[in-house]
């Protein structure tokens, strides 16, 4: 009698466990990856929808946010580590698989989640979103990632600082090398400063509110938020900083548009322009790149207190609508138009004060947009360069002799800041313009470490603000 070969009893099939936090984090990463979406725009509606369901509380939302932001922020570093743990070039790993691996790597290396929980949660996620076959691959890779902690991995994947400082800092602090290089050029100084800056980019910024002058006060915001949930701003008399988890939308002055969410760096820029001395009249103000309207709303409120009017102009009609919403209810005269600032819809010399907060790479706001640093390319600078120069030229045309122009960027990259101003003043690509520099530093009273002037560069690690740049120029002829 022939014997049947004995079959090993197969494991009974177990359904994958659906973990809503990790599934939501995966969906957010896919949207950022596939649709070039911004995490700060994709995540809130996903979280809102999840919280409408029964089983998703505030702690789940906080964990999902941490997983998404942390994974995106440190993506380059995690890529370098995962590349050591797979048997093929990373570009040959399917993007959804890589997203699950990145989420897993962040749990293993960037959070306090215990190793076994991080691996098993990632494998369960892979079973749900990728299928059982690819879940095995995820399991194998993450077990290799788990062999070292983050410091152990950094020693393995980053070159020693002395051999290649920029590459070392880029991997250790999760910034592309060219961004490290640009930020270091702008900041100057030694290793300690740039390391502090890169780490500040990896921290989530506080939510800062602005009390729009004449409509609300910092005191009102502090009372509305509650003593334990808010602190006064560091530099701006109108600023209030919310404690972690504070919901601006829950505050009445914000809901009524009398206050808004605005980084203190942006407040300082608007205040410095508003307080720069002009000669003669001070009735007509222009914000030439106003969308979505943060600075315009502060300027409009300040203008109203002085009997001046603000024209807020923005090229993109949908962003002009956001400006109109931000300015709604302003007590003084204002107008919002959709117009191209390089083809002005106003006559030359019509304004006493002009702000151009030009489109830029946003390298000064990396802490707000975790994916931005990996998306930006050095070539982007060339794309913005002519537009930035033309917008500044037109701003200088728009202001009358004796009036003031503020040129602002939320990038500290020298090619977007001083180089633009110098080129325009020297007449490169247009006629030379007669101006005098205004020292912006005394217009930010109490703010330390503002450099040699006359222009000002703010920094996240020194001022707790975005890295806003401001040059103030008075038209002299
Ligand atoms: C850095 S943002 C301004 C931020 C704004 N000042 C605030 O505080 O909310 C630059 C804005 O310039 C707009 N823009 C781009 N090209 C423009 C142009 N040619 N003329 C006017 N605005 C332009 C962009 O659509 C964007 O809304």
pLDDT of the residue at 172: 98
Dist. CA 406 → ligand 1 center (Å): 14
Give the angle subtended at the CA of 404 by the CAs of 400 and 410, to the nearest 5°. 130
CATH of the domain at 313: 3.40.50.150
Same domain assignment for residues 177 and 109:
no
Is residue 57 in some structural domain?
yes
Give the global pTM.
Answer: 0.94
**Residues flanking ligand 1, CB < 6 Å:** 266, 288-295, 314-316, 319, 340-342, 357, 359, 410
298-344, pLDDT tens digit by residue? 999 999 999 999 999 999 999 999 999 999 999 999 999 999 999 99
Ligand 1 pocket mutation pick from 208, 272, 286, 291 by most atoms within 8 angstroms of CB: 291
**Gap between the Cα atoms of 349 and 403, Å rounded:** 9
Is residue 14 in some structural domain?
no
451 annotated binding-site participant: no
**Ligand 1 nearest-atom number relative to CA 266:** 8
Is residue 467 in some structural domain?
yes
Q: Which positions are annotated as active-site residues?
A: 410
CA-nearest residue, atom 10 of ligand 1: 359
Note the helical H segments in 111-176.
115-129, 132-145, 150-157, 165-172
Over residues 406-434, mean pLDDT: 94
Same domain assignment for residues 81 and 112:
yes
188 annotated binding-site participant: no
pLDDT of the residue at 243: 86
CATH of the domain at 59: 1.10.940.10
Same domain assignment for residues 249 and 347:
no
pLDDT of the residue at 8: 67
Across the strands, what pairs with 363? none
Question: 10 Å Cβ neighbour count for 356?
Answer: 25
Question: 10 Å Cβ neighbour count for 92?
Answer: 8
Same domain assignment for residues 332 and 470:
yes
Same domain assignment for residues 361 and 452:
yes
Same domain assignment for residues 285 and 337:
yes
Q: Is the pLDDT of residue 102 over 70?
A: yes
Is residue 3 in some structural domain?
no
Peptide bond into 292 cis (omega under 30): yes
Same domain assignment for residues 187 and 220:
no
Given pLDDT bands bounded at 50, 70 and 90, which one contains residue 3? low
Same domain assignment for residues 218 and 298:
no
For the chain, how many residues are written? 477
Is residue 376 in some structural domain?
yes
Same domain assignment for residues 212 and 236:
yes
354-413, pLDDT tens digit by residue? 999 999 999 999 999 999 999 999 999 999 999 999 999 999 999 999 999 999 999 999
pLDDT of the residue at 424: 96
Q: Is the pLDDT of residue 143 over 70?
A: yes
pLDDT of the residue at 428: 87
Distances (CA, A) of 239 to 225, 247, 254, 306, 469: 13, 15, 13, 20, 19
Q: Is the pLDDT of residue 30 over 90?
A: yes
Domain end, chosen from 216, 243, 261, is at 261
Is residue 160 in some structural domain?
no
Write out the residue range of the structural domain in which residue 213 sits. Answer: 207-261
Is residue 292 in some structural domain?
yes
172-192, pLDDT tens digit by residue? 999 999 999 999 999 999 999
Over residues 212-218, mean pLDDT: 98
pLDDT of the residue at 7: 66
What's the total number of domains in the chain? 4
Same domain assignment for residues 273 and 290:
yes
Over residues 23-45, mean pLDDT: 95
Dist. CA 288 → ligand 1 center (Å): 7
pLDDT of the residue at 6: 66
CATH of the domain at 227: 3.30.70
Q: Which residue has the tokens 């962040």?
A: 106
42-62, pLDDT tens digit by residue? 999 999 999 987 789 989 999
Are 387 and 402 within 8 A, CB to CB?
Answer: no
pLDDT of the residue at 155: 98
Q: Is the pLDDT of residue 1 over 50?
A: no
Same domain assignment for residues 213 and 290:
no
Q: Which long-range contacts (CB under 8 A, 24 or more apart) does 57-66 make?
A: 58/245, 60/20, 60/21, 62/245, 63/21, 64/21, 64/22, 64/24, 64/25, 64/28, 66/111
329 annotated binding-site participant: no
pLDDT of the residue at 257: 96
293 annotated binding-site participant: yes
Same domain assignment for residues 303 and 250:
no
Q: Is the pLDDT of residue 227 over 60?
A: yes
Ligand 1 pocket mutation pick from 290, 295, 407, 465 by most atoms within 8 angstroms of CB: 290
Dist. CA 275 → ligand 1 center (Å): 22
Question: 10 Å Cβ neighbour count for 166?
Answer: 18
DSSP codes of every residue in 232-245? E-SS-TTEEEEPTT
Over residues 15-38, mean pLDDT: 94
Dist. CA 63 → ligand 1 center (Å): 33
Is residue 70 in some structural domain?
yes
């Amino acid at each position: 009698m022939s014997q049947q070969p004995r079959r090993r009893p197969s494991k009974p099939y177990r359904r994958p466990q659906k973990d809503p936090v990790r599934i939501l984090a995966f969906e957010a990463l896919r949207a950022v990856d596939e649709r070039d979406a911004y995490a700060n725009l994709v995540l809130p509606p996903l979280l809102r929808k999840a919280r409408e369901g029964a089983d998703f509380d505030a702690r789940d939302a906080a964990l999902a946010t941490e997983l998404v932001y942390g994974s995106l922020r440190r993506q380059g570093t995690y890529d370098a580590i995962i590349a050591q743990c797979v048997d093929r070039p990373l570009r040959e790993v399917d993007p959804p698989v890589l997203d699950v691996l990145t989420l897993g790597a962040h749990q293993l290396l960037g959070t306090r989640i215990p190793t076994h929980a991080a691996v098993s949660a990632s494998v369960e996620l892979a079973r749900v979103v990728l299928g059982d076959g690819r879940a095995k691959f995820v399991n194998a890779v993450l077990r290799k990632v788990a062999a070292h902690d983050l410091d152990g991995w950094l020693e393995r994947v980053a070159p020693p600082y002395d051999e290649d400082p920029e590459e070392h800092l880029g991997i250790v602090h999760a910034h592309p090398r060219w961004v490290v290089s640009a930020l270091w050029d702008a900041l100057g100084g030694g290793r300690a400063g740039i390391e502090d800056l890169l780490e500040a980019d990896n921290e989530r910024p506080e939510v800062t509110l602005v009390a729009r002058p004449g409509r609300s006060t910092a005191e009102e915001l502090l009372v509305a938020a509650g003593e334990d949930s808010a602190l006064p701003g560091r530099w701006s008399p109108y600023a209030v900083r919310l404690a972690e988890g504070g919901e601006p939308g829950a505050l009445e002055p914000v809901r009524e548009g009398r206050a808004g969410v605005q980084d203190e760096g942006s407040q300082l820029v608007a205040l410095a322009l508003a307080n720069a001395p002009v000669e003669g009249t001070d009735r007509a103000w222009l914000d030439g790149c106003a969308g979505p309207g943060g600075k315009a709303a502060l300027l409009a409120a300040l203008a109203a207190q002085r009997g001046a009017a603000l024209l807020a102009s923005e090229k993109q009609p949908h962003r002009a609508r956001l400006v109109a919403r931000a300015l709604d209810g302003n007590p003084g005269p204002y107008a919002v138009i959709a117009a191209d600032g390089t083809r002005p819809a106003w006559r030359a010399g019509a304004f006493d004060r002009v702000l151009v907060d030009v489109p830029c790479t946003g390298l000064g706001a990396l802490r707000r947009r975790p994916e931005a640093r990996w998306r930006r390319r050095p070539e982007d600078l060339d794309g913005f360069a002519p537009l930035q120069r033309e917008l500044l030229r037109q701003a200088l045309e728009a202001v009358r002799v004796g009036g003031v122009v503020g040129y602002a960027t939320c990038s500290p990259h020298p090619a977007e800041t001083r180089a633009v101003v110098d080129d325009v003043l020297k007449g490169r690509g247009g006629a030379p313009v007669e101006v005098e520099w205004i020292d912006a530093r005394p217009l930010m009273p109490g703010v330390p470490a503002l450099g040699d002037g006359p222009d000002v560069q703010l920094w996240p690690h020194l001022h707790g603000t975005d890295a806003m740049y401001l040059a103030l120029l008075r038209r002299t002829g």
